[in-house]
Amino acid sequence: MPVPMLDLAPQNAAVKQKVLDGIGALIDRSSFILGDNVRSLETEIAAYAGAKFAVGMSSGTDAQLVALMALGIKAGDEVIVPSFTFFATAGVVSRLGAKPVFVDLDPATFNTTGALVEAAITPRTKAIMPVHLFGLLAEMPAICEVAAKHGIPVIEDACQSMGAKGWGLNAGQFGEMTAFSFYPTKNLGAFGDAGLTIIREDEDLYYRVKRLRVHGMEPIYVHHEVGMNGRMDEVQALVLRAKLDMLEVWHEGRRKHAAWYHGRMKELAADEALMPLEAVPDGRHIYNQFTLRVPGGKRDALQAHLKALSIGSAIYYPICLHEQPCFADLGYKKGQFPESEKAAAEVLSIPVFPEMSEAMLEEVAAGILGFFGRK
Ligand SMILES: Cc1ncc(COP(=O)(O)O)c(C=O)c1O
């Protein structure tokens, strides 16, 4: 039986009628940008994350960019970001003329730590942007402690991790601001691009983010600063609102599959494949990705083996950001972030979407076990 990496059709079928009804009402009202649905979604997601304010944005990338702009990040500033993440985390820093300063990761979590961040701080550091990769929180208490000691604001990149928890708190309750993405492959996915910026409690930052979203304009046609067009549209907001009720069930579905994989593949040795860990105290991994480590240079062969069995998999991410051609002028060298480079060579994400049947999970696990000569 073929198993795709991700199949969005079943979850979208579950909300189809509600969305069609919503779009019908939207066409009747014909108000398509920053309307009632966006405002309601902002209230609902602020409550979901346990934060004071939320601003609906056009994408996760723009949700990060606007947060940096609200902090006044500019040319000459440094922003600390992980090297092993999706490109946007560092791309938004460069777009403001600032310098992404890369840090390595903790191999147990794929995320950066307080100690790694502290070692990268200089007098030019103006923000720290840890990423909660794959659905697991970074070491936020330690990172926030270091940030507070140096008086540097923290922006959480929770683009893959809305709903993740750790140390008794939610993604979005640690940093001054947090970016969420609703790209369709996320646990809460729109029907296109969308994102949202959480502002934990600072009302001034909230008004700044809102104004920057619409070209720095307040009131209409008075521009206080050069902002952006980062507006969320009503169709995306109504889709996200229709899905929000189901999000907890979907998170738990992914977690159930993760536990099943752990049980079924427990005989695999550490030098064959390592399963992702629930390495955060008092927390919850939401498994936007279920990412294995395949050491010993066998990752690509395992992926080819799965492909031959029509089983989907993906490599997030094959090249670290410090090795990307566009950042060559920053002067980083191969070997500088050994754990990140090792992760890029070893990771393989396998299907974990909530609607998978046990037969599909078995197909994936049997494919992996078969590759290592197990049953
Ligand atoms: C870690 C991370 N940061 C930022 C983004 C950017 O989000 P978007 O694709 O919605 O712009 C993503 C999404 O893919 C992401 O995974």
Q: Where are the beta strands (DSSP E) in the chain?
A: 53-57, 78-82, 99-103, 125-128, 155-157, 165-166, 169-170, 177-181, 195-199, 290-293, 347-350
Residue 138, token pair as written in the block:
């970074």
Cα of 194 to ligand 1 centre, how many Å?
A: 10
Per residue, the 3-state secondary structure of 265-278, as one string, reads CCCCCCCCCECCCC
Percentages (nearest 5) of helix, strand, coil residues in the chain = 40, 15, 40
Q: Rounded distance, CA 4 to CA 312, Å?
A: 5
Which atom of ligand 1 is the closest one to the Cα of 64?
4
Cα of 61 to ligand 1 centre, how many Å?
A: 6
Residue 241, token pair as written in the block:
């609102």
Looking at domain 247-371, its CATH class is: alpha beta
Listed by start position, the domains of the chain span: 9-244, 247-371
Specify the amino acid at residue 248: E
Cα of 1 to ligand 1 centre, how many Å?
A: 31
Q: Which position has the token pair 């777009």?
A: 95
Taking CA atoms only, the protein residue closest to ligand 1 atom 8 is 60
The predicted structure's pLDDT at residue 375: 83
The response to whether residue 86 sits with its C-beta less than 6 Å from ligand 1 reads yes
Q: What angle do CA 140, 144, 150 make, to 5 degrees?
A: 150
CB 240 within 8 A of CB 19: no
* Rg, Å, the chain Cα set: 21
The response to whether residue 88 sits with its C-beta less than 6 Å from ligand 1 reads yes
Q: How far is CA 81 from CA 210, 287, 327, 373, in A?
A: 24, 21, 13, 40
The predicted structure's pLDDT at residue 174: 98
Q: Which pTM was predicted?
A: 0.98
Which ranges constitute the DSSP H helices of 129-187? 140-150
Question: Ligand 1 pocket test: which of 137, 159, 291 has the largest number of ligand atoms within 8 Å of its C-beta?
Answer: 159
CB 240 within 8 A of CB 180: no
Cα of 160 to ligand 1 centre, how many Å?
A: 7
The response to whether residue 181 sits with its C-beta less than 6 Å from ligand 1 reads yes
Q: What angle do CA 272, 1, 183 make, to 5 degrees?
A: 75
The response to whether residue 131 sits with its C-beta less than 6 Å from ligand 1 reads yes
Cα of 268 to ligand 1 centre, how many Å?
A: 32
Cα of 126 to ligand 1 centre, how many Å?
A: 21
Q: What is the CATH number of domain 9-244?
A: 3.40.640.10
Which atom of ligand 1 is the closest one to the Cα of 62?
11
The response to whether residue 371 sits with its C-beta less than 6 Å from ligand 1 reads no
Residue 127, token pair as written in the block:
């923000």
The response to whether residue 60 sits with its C-beta less than 6 Å from ligand 1 reads yes
Residue spans of the chain under pLDDT 50: none
Q: Rounded distance, CA 339 to CA 106, Å?
A: 7
Question: Ligand 1 pocket test: which of 64, 66, 86 has the largest number of ligand atoms within 8 Å of its C-beta?
Answer: 86
Q: What angle do CA 181, 209, 137 make, to 5 degrees?
A: 40
CB 155 within 8 A of CB 176: yes
Q: Rounded distance, CA 317 to CA 345, Å?
A: 9
Q: How far is CA 199 from CA 25, 42, 50, 279, in A?
A: 30, 11, 10, 26
Taking CA atoms only, the protein residue closest to ligand 1 atom 12 is 159
Cα of 266 to ligand 1 centre, how many Å?
A: 32
Q: Rounded distance, CA 334 to CA 105, Å?
A: 15
Do domains 9-244 and 247-371 share one topology? The answer is: no
Beta strand 290-293 with 195-199 is unpaired
The response to whether residue 59 sits with its C-beta less than 6 Å from ligand 1 reads yes
Residue 15, token pair as written in the block:
């909300």
